[in-house]
Amino acid sequence: MAGGAGPAGGFQDEGRASITRRSEDRGAFKTPTLREVARTAPYMHDGSLATLEDVVDFYDRGGNRNAFLDPELHALGLTAPEKQALLAFLRSLSGTTLR
Ligand code: HEM
């Protein structure tokens, strides 16, 4: 699952900790580029989120809870227009190739 936390709060994927063996790296993944993100579904390291709407909902609920989640990540309480604005922003990051 996105963020590495499974349904029971355990990790299906240790992320960076599988290399560093540091507990604070459990569930940590490289921050990807958002360039062309509207064309690159599914999302997250495991493809567990099918659409950009799913990604915005994921962040709105503060990600998947786990013991190693940064305390700065929390539920956002976004309104429907705020979610639409975020989606419009994410879709604006795709372009056309110059000849
Ligand atoms: C509402 C705010 C945010 C939005 C709309 C957003 C959007 C996204 C999207 C669309 C992806 C999927 C990219 C892909 O799979 O190609 C993603 C992944 C990711 N984002 Fe964010 N992001 C937000 C906040 C953050 C914050 C605050 C952090 C870190 C402090 C962060 C770190 C990451 C990381 C590490 C991934 C990869 C996760 C994985 O591979 O499982 N994002 N984000």
pLDDT tens, position by position, 15-68? 999 999 999 899 999 999 999 999 999 999 999 999 999 999 999 999 988 888
- pLDDT bucket at 2, cuts 50 / 70 / 90: low
Place of tokens 């560093």: 20
CB burial string 25-42: b at 16+ within 10 A, e below: bbbbeeeeeeeebeeeee
Q: Which atom of ligand 1 is nearest to the CA of 40?
A: 16
Domain locations in the chain as residue ranges: 2-91
Ligand 1: residue whose CA is nearest its atom 17: 44
Yes or no: domain 2-91 corresponds to CATH 3.40.190.10: no
By CB neighbour count within 10 A (0-12 exposed, 13-18 middle, 19+ buried), where does 23 fall?
exposed
What confidence score (pLDDT) does residue 63 get? 93
Q: Which atom of ligand 1 is nearest to the CA of 56?
A: 5
